[in-house]
A and B are shown apart, each in its own frame.
Chain A
Amino acid sequence: MSLQPDSLKYCESHEWVAPPTDGSGIATIGISAFAVAQLNDIVFMALPEVGARLTAGQEFGEVESVKAVSPMYSPVSGEVVEVHSELVDHLDRLNTDPYEQGWIIKVKISDPSEFDRLMNYADYQKMCAEQG
């Protein structure tokens, strides 16, 4: 797997999703480098169970940083098929590589048209520049 930031889709709440490219219908989800930088030191992460059903915009987990708990929102609808549970013990990977080693969950998507409602990299960068 090789994920480049400019090949991903983004939501306003700073999660990224890699649309499936192999016909599997499985999308990978994480949080962006901008979010990791803004959250500063992430010390805890709570993740969903495999099999959980998500709808786009629904909370799928939580992170704690500098005494602040922030939910993570799913960019797409579908069923969680894999959870990166090892990440919980290696949260520094979010700092070093949020787009590959820092992936969080994989979801079997139920509505591919949802990708059209998400931002591409250029639009997301623009939004971050406005917030930064």
Chain B
Amino acid sequence: MAIDEAMLAEARPGSPITIRLYQWDQPTLSLGHFQNMEQCEKDVRISHVRELRAIPWVRRKTGGGAILHDREWTYSFVIPANSDEASKGHSEALYRSVHESIRDGLVAMGWDAKLAEHCTCSPINRGENEPFLCFHRRSPVDIVVGESKVVGSAQRRSRGLLQHGSLLVNRSLLFPDLFGLEGLRDGFCDPINWPDWLEDRIREGLRSAMDGVCEVS
């Protein structure tokens, strides 16, 4: 994630959009920018607090809730400074466009995937009652299969834009409360090259959001 932050800091007007797909050497929690581990203990929805606290953690530059990076794929993309879409007014459309593209790909493969279209966040409670974990939260463009969230994303909008996201592939043995995609479909699941597939869906979503005009490296 430090590489993602460096890419955001170094992105210059006119440079291409950069997409990264990665997994983690060991199960790791990444906390949203304004989160701390004490919030984990206060969250009554979490049944395995001790197990979560024992996992190494980092804090992201992007917002949102904590993600357990285990049996999932993390993606990031950086849109350089001065792109219209990176300015404050337009970046929400990127969430939707990229997530719609991922949803469409999941539907084509047989998952009953949709956008959540409702939100657990509120400025009244300042996020204090928000679930600690990203995958317990709902925002309107999160991707769900049935009641289970399978893709969530968050952003940092500065003079460029960084979007992080996570595709939950399978249930973590460390925190089995969350289902992954492969546990949510009946019958045999063909092996899928998730990073290539996800990169392709992100490219498609970005092209759609940016009116077809984008150079992606």
> Which residues of chain A have a CB within 8 Å of any CB of chain B?
13-14, 35, 38-44, 46, 59, 62, 64-71, 89, 91-92, 95, 131-132
Contact = CB atoms under 8 A, between A and B. Distances in A.
A91 to B, nearest CB: 5
B88 A67 contact: no
Contacts of B153: 67
Interface of B: 32-34, 61-65, 84, 87-92, 121-124, 126-127, 130, 139, 152-159
Given A64-B63, A131-B87, A69 B123 contact: no
B92 A92 contact: no
A39 B121 CA distance: 13
B126 to A, nearest CB: 6
Given A43-B123, A67-B155, 11 more contacts: A35-B88, A38-B89, A39-B88, A40-B92, A43-B122, A67-B152, A68-B62, A68-B63, A69-B156, A91-B126, A92-B123
Contacts of A43: 34, 121-123, 126-127, 130
B154 A68 contact: yes
A67 B123 contact: no
A60 to B, nearest CB: 13
Contacts of A46: 34
A67 B126 contact: no
A59 B156 CA distance: 13
B33 A42 contact: no
A86 to B, nearest CB: 13
A75 to B, nearest CB: 15
Contacts of B127: 43-44, 64
Given A39-B88, A40-B92, A43-B126, A69 B33 contact: yes
Main secondary structure of the interface of B (DSSP, over half): loop
A131 B124 CA distance: 28
Contact of A69 (B63, B124, B130): B63
Contacts of A89: 126
Contact of B62 (A13, A14, A67, A71): A67
B168 to A, nearest CB: 16
Nearest to A62: B33
Contacts of A70: 88, 156-158
A66 B34 CA distance: 13
A69 B89 contact: no
Contacts of A35: 88
B89 to A, nearest CB: 4
21 contacts: A13-B88, A35-B88, A43-B122, A43-B123, A43-B126, A44-B34, A59-B158, A62-B33, A64-B63, A67-B63, A67-B139, A67-B153, A67-B155, A68-B91, A68-B154, A68-B155, A68-B156, A68-B157, A69-B61, A69-B157, A131-B84
Contacts of B92: 40, 66, 68
Contact of B126 (A14, A39, A44, A95): A44
B143 to A, nearest CB: 14
A67 B89 CA distance: 15
A83 to B, nearest CB: 17
Contacts of A95: 123
A14 B152 CA distance: 28
A36 to B, nearest CB: 10
The winner among B61, B88, B122 for most chain A CB atoms within 10 A is B88
